[in-house]
Amino acid sequence: MGAKNCPETPRQQMIGMMYLVLTAMLALNVSKDILEAFNVVDDTLAQSNVSVKEGIDFKYAALAKDTTAKAKSANEKATQLRQLSDEMVKYIEDSRLELIKYVDGEKKAMEQMNNPENNGRIPVKKIDGKDNFDKPTTFYLMMDENGQLLKGEDNPNCRASVMRKKINDYKAAILALLPDSSNVEKERKQFVSDNLGLRVDDEYVKGNGDKGTESWERHNFNHLICAGTVILLSKVIGEVRNAETLVLDELTKGIDANDFKFDAVTGRAIPKSQIVFSGSSYESDIIVAAFNSSADLEVYYKIGADTLTEDEIGSAEHLVGAGGIAKLQIPAGGVGDHKFAGLIKVKSPDGYKYYGFKDTYSVIAPSATVAADKMNVLYAGIPNPVSIGGSVDVKRLSVSFPGCTMKATGDGHYDVTVPANLIGKKVTATVTARDGNSSKAMGSAEFRVKKVPDPTSYLGANIWGGKRSKSELLANPFISARMGEDFAYDLKWTINSYRLTVISKGIEGAPKACSGGQFDGSVTSAIQSASTGTVLVFSDIKATSIAGQRTLRDITIRIK
């Protein structure tokens, strides 16, 4: 600004105004890391909604196949439930698309919508104006369904208010499908109503330390960036599908009197072993088996497991049978004994039940082979359990891995450690058999050498990021790291150090360097003093194991 005795020229005034605008833009700027976190959350919610929809579709299909009188009556209401829910989801998805058109322009939005890579849905990472605050606020709080601007705030004709009314109408419509003629039915209907979710009539405490309350519309759509608004709509879709599931489960209660309906009986021989060696005996259990030849059967199984729980079926192989029988076919792997375990999914009066099974089998070969115990590769820097076998006594066999360190752990079993300089290369293992003073080559196998993948960092045991309360963070006062579920080895990691950066109201503080994985006093104090909306970024996370030192992914938390 110019002094009184030195008036500013028009050019200086223009430069000063541009500086003020730039300062304001910087104050409102959303960091790249936070926008990336929005991308991750958006993808996760989208996949979650797809998974829930697939589960609901399976229940509808199972109900449609049931020909009992109760099932037919329930299926009629289930058809109405499905139509109401699909219409509600389509309304939200259409609103989501119209918002993106308003922010990015119709041409850009439709290019992304028609891109086959996006599968008919525009992800947050493909939205140019994902960090725009003003347009989403205008779109939902100041415009009607036809895109006309309205006068005044909290207008009942604005898009957000129309959405709230549609949600309430949807809830009333699906609850009306439930019977309530008896006291028990009334209690069940009230239970479903209390747990249905989609609460849009509550008063919400204002954020940023402001006093008082605000409506669902202003709490969710006022001054929220486009990325956040889009994710909010995906969350609402998830709540619709959860409400649909709850009502569908209530409609199908008590349809069957028993878990199974049997229409076929046959004899079955269950051998104790599929392999019989010379000098031993074949043994088998003979049973009578009853099954429903008109029912589809679902089986989940995992190779190498002793048991399989319901929580683990997401990582198990899925097998669908027909005619009441599922045929399991497992390709023969390495020579030796193998095992597997699984669950059979069957319909019951309360939904579905799971029944466990397990078995073992043996693989033999006319010549010696070698196979990794846990996977078809060797990881550098860690002991890889390896076993050998063949058509001769395993005590007469030996194996060599050139360039590697080996430690015998039992007859035919070894721990093989591969040096880091072989990463990306292949190692050929050779098996030989001793015959008196001579030896004979029995076979060989080639293994790929890989680097141990990076572990994933968490706060506590499972906090990966997102919106979290301060009490939740203080109850998990440490950083941990663990390998993914598909990594077969029990590899432990130790956190050596990390940095904490606090971003409050758009202002980024100086990073705090911390040793070890525990929260020290400065970190605990920063969490305790953080206000709603404050962002905590745990970065430069260093972890070590026998596989070496790694720098792990950042963890971004927004205080709610």
Residue 332 neighbours by CB under 8 Å, 6+ apart: 363
Q: In this structure, are residues 390 and 335 in contact, taking their beta carbons and an 8 Å threshold?
A: yes
- Residue 63 half-sphere exposure toward CB, CA atoms < 13 A: 28
Residue 257 neighbours by CB under 8 Å, 6+ apart: 349
What is residue 208's predicted lDDT score, i.e. its pLDDT? 61
- Mean pLDDT on 17-38: 49
In the chain, what are the domain boundaries?
1-27, 31-251, 264-363, 369-450, 456-559
Predicted confidence band at 444 (pLDDT cuts at 50, 70, 90)? Answer: confident
Task: Report in angstroms the alpha-carbon separations of 6 from 1, 10, 285.
Answer: 10, 13, 105
Q: Which residue has the tokens 């070894």?
A: 414
456-559 has the same fold as 369-450: yes
Indicate the CATH number for domain 264-363: 2.60.40
Share of the chain above pLDDT 90, in %: 26
- Mean pLDDT on 456-476: 93
Compute the C-alpha angle 138/140/143, nearest 5°: 65
Mean pLDDT over the full length of the chain: 79
pLDDT one-digit tens code per residue, 78-92: 889 889 999 988 998
What is residue 243's predicted lDDT score, i.e. its pLDDT? 86
Q: Does domain 369-450 have CATH number 2.60.40.60?
A: yes
pTM of the predicted structure, to 2 decimals: 0.44
pLDDT one-digit tens code per residue, 179-210: 877 777 777 788 888 887 888 887 777 666 66
The least confident of 258-262, 397-401, 416-420, 524-528 is 258-262
DSSP 89-106: HHHHHHHHHHHHHHHH-H
Which of the following CATH numbers is that of domain 456-559: 2.60.120, 2.60.40, 3.30.70, 1.10.3470? 2.60.40
DSSP conformation class of 211:
-
DSSP 413-481: EEEEEB-GGGTTSEEEEEEEEEETTEEEEEEEEEEEEEPPPPPEEEETTTB-SEEE-HHHHHTS-BEEE
What is residue 351's predicted lDDT score, i.e. its pLDDT? 57
What is residue 42's predicted lDDT score, i.e. its pLDDT? 72
Residue of 256 and 499 predicted with greater confidence: 499
